Amino acid sequence: MKLSLFDLHCDTSGEMLRQTQALADNSLAVSLNKATVFERYIQVMAHWTQYSMSEEEAWNEFLAMINNLKKDPSVTAGTACISTACPDANHVPTLLLAVEDARILNNKIERVDQLYQMGVRILTPLWKGDTCIGGSHDTENGLTHFGKSALERAVGLGMIPDISHASRASAEEIFAIAKAHGRPVIASHSNAHAVCPVSRNLWDDQIRALLDSDGLIGLNLYTAFLTPDGNASAKDILPHIEHFLSLGAEKHLALGCDMDGCRLPDDIPDLAALPRLAELLLQHNYSEELVADLFYNNAYAFASQYLK
Ligand SMILES: [Zn+2]
Protein backbone atom coordinates (compact mmCIF):
# COMPACT_ATOMS: atom_id res chain seq x y z
CA MET A 1 0.00 0.00 0.00
CA LYS A 2 1.11 3.56 -0.70
CA LEU A 3 1.45 5.41 2.58
CA SER A 4 0.93 9.06 3.43
CA LEU A 5 2.02 10.60 6.71
CA PHE A 6 0.50 13.27 8.95
CA ASP A 7 2.78 13.46 11.99
CA LEU A 8 1.66 15.48 15.02
CA HIS A 9 5.03 16.24 16.59
CA CYS A 10 8.70 16.69 15.76
CA ASP A 11 11.40 18.98 17.15
CA THR A 12 13.17 19.43 13.83
CA SER A 13 12.74 23.19 13.48
CA GLY A 14 14.84 23.85 16.58
CA GLU A 15 17.54 21.39 15.52
CA MET A 16 17.66 22.99 12.06
CA LEU A 17 18.52 26.30 13.75
CA ARG A 18 20.91 24.89 16.37
CA GLN A 19 22.78 22.66 13.91
CA THR A 20 22.47 24.91 10.81
CA GLN A 21 20.67 22.27 8.77
CA ALA A 22 18.20 22.63 5.92
CA LEU A 23 14.79 21.01 5.67
CA ALA A 24 15.36 19.30 2.32
CA ASP A 25 18.43 17.25 3.16
CA ASN A 26 20.10 16.96 6.53
CA SER A 27 21.55 14.59 9.12
CA LEU A 28 18.47 14.90 11.32
CA ALA A 29 15.67 12.31 11.67
CA VAL A 30 13.24 14.44 9.65
CA SER A 31 13.89 15.88 6.19
CA LEU A 32 11.96 16.29 2.96
CA ASN A 33 14.23 13.74 1.28
CA LYS A 34 13.39 11.15 3.92
CA ALA A 35 9.70 12.02 3.55
CA THR A 36 9.73 11.03 -0.14
CA VAL A 37 8.82 7.50 1.01
CA PHE A 38 5.35 8.96 1.58
CA GLU A 39 2.84 9.93 -1.09
CA ARG A 40 1.67 12.94 0.92
CA TYR A 41 3.31 14.47 3.94
CA ILE A 42 2.02 16.86 6.58
CA GLN A 43 4.23 17.63 9.58
CA VAL A 44 3.37 19.53 12.73
CA MET A 45 6.58 21.37 13.57
CA ALA A 46 6.80 21.93 17.30
CA HIS A 47 8.87 24.87 18.51
CA TRP A 48 10.41 23.91 21.82
CA THR A 49 12.80 26.21 23.57
CA GLN A 50 15.56 25.17 25.93
CA TYR A 51 14.47 24.87 29.54
CA SER A 52 17.70 26.40 30.85
CA MET A 53 16.83 29.71 29.17
CA SER A 54 14.90 32.51 30.83
CA GLU A 55 11.40 33.15 29.46
CA GLU A 56 12.64 36.13 27.44
CA GLU A 57 15.65 34.26 26.05
CA ALA A 58 13.30 31.42 25.13
CA TRP A 59 10.88 33.84 23.40
CA ASN A 60 13.76 35.18 21.34
CA GLU A 61 14.95 31.67 20.50
CA PHE A 62 11.40 30.82 19.40
CA LEU A 63 11.34 33.86 17.07
CA ALA A 64 14.72 32.84 15.64
CA MET A 65 13.46 29.30 14.99
CA ILE A 66 10.30 30.47 13.22
CA ASN A 67 12.25 32.95 11.09
CA ASN A 68 14.81 30.29 10.24
CA LEU A 69 12.06 27.90 9.14
CA LYS A 70 10.28 30.55 7.07
CA LYS A 71 13.58 31.35 5.30
CA ASP A 72 14.47 27.71 4.61
CA PRO A 73 15.28 27.28 0.88
CA SER A 74 12.57 24.62 0.42
CA VAL A 75 9.95 26.91 1.92
CA THR A 76 10.98 29.97 -0.10
CA ALA A 77 11.14 27.85 -3.28
CA GLY A 78 7.69 26.40 -2.61
CA THR A 79 8.76 22.73 -2.56
CA ALA A 80 7.37 22.72 0.98
CA CYS A 81 4.88 25.13 2.48
CA ILE A 82 3.98 26.45 5.90
CA SER A 83 0.23 26.45 6.38
CA THR A 84 -2.35 27.40 8.99
CA ALA A 85 -5.03 25.07 7.63
CA CYS A 86 -5.35 21.58 6.28
CA PRO A 87 -4.00 21.54 2.71
CA ASP A 88 -5.93 20.31 -0.34
CA ALA A 89 -5.62 16.69 -1.31
CA ASN A 90 -2.79 17.23 -3.80
CA HIS A 91 -0.39 19.21 -1.71
CA VAL A 92 3.34 19.72 -1.47
CA PRO A 93 4.85 18.70 1.91
CA THR A 94 3.08 20.93 4.40
CA LEU A 95 4.24 22.21 7.77
CA LEU A 96 1.83 23.27 10.53
CA LEU A 97 3.27 25.33 13.37
CA ALA A 98 3.10 24.45 17.06
CA VAL A 99 4.59 25.88 20.24
CA GLU A 100 5.77 23.45 22.90
CA ASP A 101 6.16 25.01 26.36
CA ALA A 102 4.20 28.28 26.35
CA ARG A 103 6.24 29.78 29.20
CA ILE A 104 7.65 31.91 26.34
CA LEU A 105 4.44 33.98 26.76
CA ASN A 106 6.03 35.25 29.99
CA ASN A 107 2.73 36.59 31.40
CA LYS A 108 2.09 38.69 28.27
CA ILE A 109 -1.37 37.80 26.99
CA GLU A 110 -0.85 39.74 23.74
CA ARG A 111 1.78 37.18 22.77
CA VAL A 112 -1.02 34.63 22.23
CA ASP A 113 -2.32 36.84 19.44
CA GLN A 114 1.21 37.26 18.10
CA LEU A 115 1.62 33.48 17.92
CA TYR A 116 -1.66 33.22 16.06
CA GLN A 117 -0.61 35.93 13.61
CA MET A 118 2.68 34.10 13.02
CA GLY A 119 0.65 31.04 12.02
CA VAL A 120 0.83 28.93 15.19
CA ARG A 121 -2.29 26.76 15.41
CA ILE A 122 -1.32 24.07 17.93
CA LEU A 123 -0.41 25.00 21.49
CA THR A 124 1.31 22.56 23.85
CA PRO A 125 1.21 24.84 26.89
CA LEU A 126 3.43 22.86 29.25
CA TRP A 127 6.67 20.93 29.22
CA LYS A 128 8.34 20.54 32.60
CA GLY A 129 7.93 21.86 36.13
CA ASP A 130 5.87 24.87 37.22
CA THR A 131 5.77 27.83 34.84
CA CYS A 132 3.75 31.01 34.32
CA ILE A 133 1.24 28.71 32.53
CA GLY A 134 0.86 26.11 35.25
CA GLY A 135 1.95 22.64 36.38
CA SER A 136 3.53 20.12 33.99
CA HIS A 137 3.36 16.32 34.14
CA ASP A 138 6.04 16.14 36.86
CA THR A 139 3.95 18.29 39.25
CA GLU A 140 0.47 18.10 40.77
CA ASN A 141 -0.42 21.74 40.12
CA GLY A 142 -3.04 23.05 37.71
CA LEU A 143 -3.05 26.12 35.50
CA THR A 144 -2.13 29.53 36.90
CA HIS A 145 -4.52 32.45 36.54
CA PHE A 146 -2.43 33.62 33.57
CA GLY A 147 -2.33 30.08 32.16
CA LYS A 148 -6.13 29.93 32.15
CA SER A 149 -6.39 33.34 30.43
CA ALA A 150 -3.78 32.31 27.83
CA LEU A 151 -5.58 29.04 27.07
CA GLU A 152 -8.94 30.87 26.88
CA ARG A 153 -7.48 33.30 24.39
CA ALA A 154 -5.71 30.61 22.34
CA VAL A 155 -8.78 28.36 22.08
CA GLY A 156 -10.98 31.39 21.39
CA LEU A 157 -8.75 32.32 18.45
CA GLY A 158 -9.01 28.78 17.07
CA MET A 159 -5.79 27.17 18.26
CA ILE A 160 -5.85 23.50 19.22
CA PRO A 161 -4.80 22.87 22.84
CA ASP A 162 -2.50 19.91 23.52
CA ILE A 163 -2.33 18.10 26.90
CA SER A 164 0.97 16.30 26.22
CA HIS A 165 3.33 17.29 29.08
CA ALA A 166 0.46 18.67 31.24
CA SER A 167 -0.16 17.60 34.84
CA ARG A 168 -3.43 15.79 35.48
CA ALA A 169 -4.83 18.96 37.09
CA SER A 170 -3.74 21.20 34.18
CA ALA A 171 -5.15 18.72 31.65
CA GLU A 172 -8.52 18.76 33.40
CA GLU A 173 -8.64 22.56 33.19
CA ILE A 174 -7.59 22.49 29.53
CA PHE A 175 -10.45 20.08 28.78
CA ALA A 176 -12.91 22.41 30.56
CA ILE A 177 -11.75 25.47 28.60
CA ALA A 178 -11.95 23.66 25.26
CA LYS A 179 -15.38 22.23 26.11
CA ALA A 180 -16.74 25.69 26.90
CA HIS A 181 -15.68 26.74 23.38
CA GLY A 182 -16.94 23.53 21.74
CA ARG A 183 -13.39 22.77 20.60
CA PRO A 184 -11.35 19.55 20.61
CA VAL A 185 -8.23 18.72 22.67
CA ILE A 186 -5.29 16.68 21.44
CA ALA A 187 -2.40 14.81 23.03
CA SER A 188 0.15 15.30 20.26
CA HIS A 189 2.86 12.92 21.49
CA SER A 190 1.84 10.65 24.38
CA ASN A 191 1.22 6.93 24.87
CA ALA A 192 -0.93 4.85 27.23
CA HIS A 193 -0.16 4.98 30.96
CA ALA A 194 -1.82 1.57 31.40
CA VAL A 195 0.94 0.06 29.21
CA CYS A 196 3.93 2.18 30.26
CA PRO A 197 3.27 4.01 33.55
CA VAL A 198 5.28 7.20 33.16
CA SER A 199 3.87 10.64 33.95
CA ARG A 200 4.06 11.70 30.27
CA ASN A 201 1.62 9.00 29.18
CA LEU A 202 -2.18 9.23 29.21
CA TRP A 203 -4.49 7.84 31.89
CA ASP A 204 -7.64 6.09 30.71
CA ASP A 205 -9.92 8.91 31.90
CA GLN A 206 -7.80 11.36 29.87
CA ILE A 207 -8.04 9.11 26.80
CA ARG A 208 -11.83 9.04 27.19
CA ALA A 209 -11.94 12.82 27.57
CA LEU A 210 -9.80 13.25 24.42
CA LEU A 211 -12.22 11.03 22.49
CA ASP A 212 -15.25 12.87 23.95
CA SER A 213 -13.76 16.15 22.72
CA ASP A 214 -13.39 14.70 19.18
CA GLY A 215 -9.62 15.10 19.59
CA LEU A 216 -6.54 13.20 18.49
CA ILE A 217 -3.87 11.10 20.18
CA GLY A 218 -0.40 11.00 18.60
CA LEU A 219 1.63 7.88 19.38
CA ASN A 220 5.14 8.74 20.57
CA LEU A 221 8.14 6.62 19.52
CA TYR A 222 10.32 7.74 22.45
CA THR A 223 11.60 4.43 23.86
CA ALA A 224 11.17 5.59 27.48
CA PHE A 225 7.43 6.08 26.87
CA LEU A 226 7.02 2.70 25.12
CA THR A 227 8.31 0.27 27.76
CA PRO A 228 9.06 0.74 31.48
CA ASP A 229 12.74 -0.22 31.04
CA GLY A 230 13.15 2.01 27.98
CA ASN A 231 14.48 -0.87 25.86
CA ALA A 232 12.02 -0.68 23.02
CA SER A 233 11.70 -1.48 19.35
CA ALA A 234 8.91 -0.74 16.89
CA LYS A 235 6.87 -3.76 18.02
CA ASP A 236 6.53 -2.21 21.50
CA ILE A 237 4.11 0.33 20.11
CA LEU A 238 1.57 -2.44 19.44
CA PRO A 239 0.33 -2.82 23.07
CA HIS A 240 -0.26 0.95 23.14
CA ILE A 241 -2.26 0.81 19.91
CA GLU A 242 -4.24 -2.16 21.31
CA HIS A 243 -5.01 -0.24 24.47
CA PHE A 244 -6.17 2.88 22.62
CA LEU A 245 -8.30 0.76 20.29
CA SER A 246 -9.88 -1.02 23.28
CA LEU A 247 -11.13 2.41 24.41
CA GLY A 248 -12.60 3.18 20.98
CA ALA A 249 -9.86 5.40 19.54
CA GLU A 250 -9.68 3.94 16.02
CA LYS A 251 -10.76 7.20 14.35
CA HIS A 252 -8.76 9.38 16.76
CA LEU A 253 -5.36 7.70 16.71
CA ALA A 254 -2.42 9.25 14.84
CA LEU A 255 1.36 9.44 15.03
CA GLY A 256 3.27 12.07 17.01
CA CYS A 257 6.67 10.49 16.60
CA ASP A 258 8.73 13.09 18.52
CA MET A 259 11.58 12.79 16.02
CA ASP A 260 14.59 15.03 16.59
CA GLY A 261 13.42 15.36 20.19
CA CYS A 262 13.92 11.92 21.70
CA ARG A 263 15.67 8.56 21.58
CA LEU A 264 13.95 6.51 18.88
CA PRO A 265 13.80 2.71 18.60
CA ASP A 266 16.85 1.29 16.75
CA ASP A 267 14.62 -0.12 14.00
CA ILE A 268 12.96 3.28 13.33
CA PRO A 269 15.89 5.71 13.39
CA ASP A 270 14.26 8.32 11.15
CA LEU A 271 11.28 9.26 9.00
CA ALA A 272 12.41 7.10 6.06
CA ALA A 273 12.20 4.00 8.28
CA LEU A 274 8.67 4.72 9.48
CA PRO A 275 6.98 2.54 6.79
CA ARG A 276 8.46 -0.40 8.75
CA LEU A 277 5.87 0.33 11.42
CA ALA A 278 3.13 0.02 8.79
CA GLU A 279 4.59 -3.31 7.61
CA LEU A 280 4.70 -4.55 11.19
CA LEU A 281 1.05 -3.63 11.73
CA LEU A 282 -0.02 -5.37 8.51
CA GLN A 283 1.96 -8.47 9.57
CA HIS A 284 0.01 -8.44 12.83
CA ASN A 285 -3.27 -8.46 10.91
CA TYR A 286 -4.22 -4.83 11.33
CA SER A 287 -6.22 -3.72 8.31
CA GLU A 288 -4.90 -1.44 5.60
CA GLU A 289 -7.70 0.94 6.55
CA LEU A 290 -6.49 1.14 10.14
CA VAL A 291 -2.89 1.71 9.05
CA ALA A 292 -3.95 4.46 6.63
CA ASP A 293 -6.11 6.03 9.36
CA LEU A 294 -3.24 5.95 11.86
CA PHE A 295 -0.61 7.33 9.48
CA TYR A 296 -2.70 10.03 7.80
CA ASN A 297 -6.47 9.89 7.47
CA ASN A 298 -7.51 10.50 11.08
CA ALA A 299 -5.31 13.55 11.50
CA TYR A 300 -6.26 14.82 8.03
CA ALA A 301 -9.99 14.57 8.83
CA PHE A 302 -9.39 16.34 12.15
CA ALA A 303 -7.37 19.15 10.58
CA SER A 304 -9.92 19.57 7.76
CA GLN A 305 -12.63 20.12 10.36
CA TYR A 306 -10.83 22.19 13.00
CA LEU A 307 -8.10 24.18 11.23
CA LYS A 308 -9.48 26.89 8.98
ZN1 LIG B 1 7.58 16.95 24.00
Q: How is residue 232 annotated by DSSP?
A: -
Domain ranges of the chain: 5-306
pLDDT of 2 reads 86
- Report the distance separating Cα 292 and Cα 207, nearest Å: 21
The pLDDT tens digits for 37-84 are 999 999 999 999 999 999 999 999 999 999 999 999 999 999 999 999
**11 C-alpha vs ligand 1 centroid, how far in Å?**
8
Burial zone of 247 (CB within 10 Å; 0-12 exposed, 13-18 middle, 19+ buried): middle
**219 C-alpha vs ligand 1 centroid, how far in Å?**
12
**285 C-alpha vs ligand 1 centroid, how far in Å?**
31
The pLDDT tens digits for 209-249 are 999 999 999 999 999 999 999 999 999 999 999 999 999 99
**122 C-alpha vs ligand 1 centroid, how far in Å?**
13
**218 C-alpha vs ligand 1 centroid, how far in Å?**
11
pLDDT of 308 reads 85
What string of DSSP letters covers 127-184? -SSB-SSBBBTTS---B-HHHHHHHHHHHHHTPEEB-TTB-HHHHHHHHHHHHHTT--
Helix 145-157 vs helix 168-180: crossing angle, to nearest 10: 40
Which CATH architecture best describes the domain 5-306?
Alpha-Beta Barrel (3.20)
**1 C-alpha vs ligand 1 centroid, how far in Å?**
30
**100 backbone dihedrals φ, ψ, rounded to 5°:** -110, 120
**189 C-alpha vs ligand 1 centroid, how far in Å?**
7
**34 C-alpha vs ligand 1 centroid, how far in Å?**
22
**224 C-alpha vs ligand 1 centroid, how far in Å?**
12
**101 C-alpha vs ligand 1 centroid, how far in Å?**
9
For residue 123, the cross-strand partners are: 99, 161
**190 C-alpha vs ligand 1 centroid, how far in Å?**
9
Whether pTM exceeds 0.85: yes
| E strand spans, the chain | 5-10, 41-48, 81-83, 94-100, 120-124, 160-161, 186-187, 216-219, 253-255
Print burial letters for 128-155: b (CB count within 10 Å at least 16), e (below 16).
Answer: eebbbbbbbbebeebbbebbbbbbbbbb
CA trace torsion 224, 195, 268, 9 (10° rounding): -80
